[in-house]
Amino acid sequence: DVKVTQSSRYLVKRTGEKVFLECVQDMDHENMFWYRQDPGLGLRLIYFSYDVKMKEKGDIPEGYSVSREKKERFSLILESASTNQTSMYLCASSFNRGLGEKLFFGSGTQLSVL
């Protein structure tokens, strides 16, 4: 079974802190994604990566950056956390691109910014 592991289930940070959310997948998937999930807003794509050292902006990249130095690891960085970044963050990976791009999700990180 594919495993997508997110480093923390719950995280509490202060406004202005730099925050790192880590995600690791163990199935040699090419593609990795970061979403945030908020009540009533569904899943919104922050950044994605189709290859090592490659990154592309999703629908809501403002205030975030990402790093993909190794194929299995995709990190989401909040340069200066703000209260409106309090959310559930979900990492996902997939093997195919486009048609058949079945996503495997991690368990999520609930981030609270105080």
Partner 1 sequence: GQQVMQIPQYQHVQEGEDFTTYCNSSTTLSNIQWYKQRPGGHPVFLIQLVKSGEVKKQKRLTFQFGEAKKNSSLHITATQTTDVGTYFCAGNSGNTPLVFGKGTRLSVIA
Nearer to partner 1, 19 or 90 (CB): 90
What minimum distance in Å lies between the beta carbon of 114 and partner 1?
A: 22
Size of the site for partner 1 (CB under 8 A): 24
Q: Are strands 64-70 and 56-57 parallel, antiparallel or unpaired?
A: unpaired
Binding status of residue 11 toward partner 1 by CB under 8 A: no
Binding status of residue 24 toward partner 1 by CB under 8 A: no
Binding status of residue 101 toward partner 1 by CB under 8 A: yes
Q: Which of 111, 114, 112, 113 is nearest to 21 (CA)?
A: 111
Residues that bind partner 1 (CB under 8 A): 33, 35, 40-45, 48, 58-59, 90, 97-108
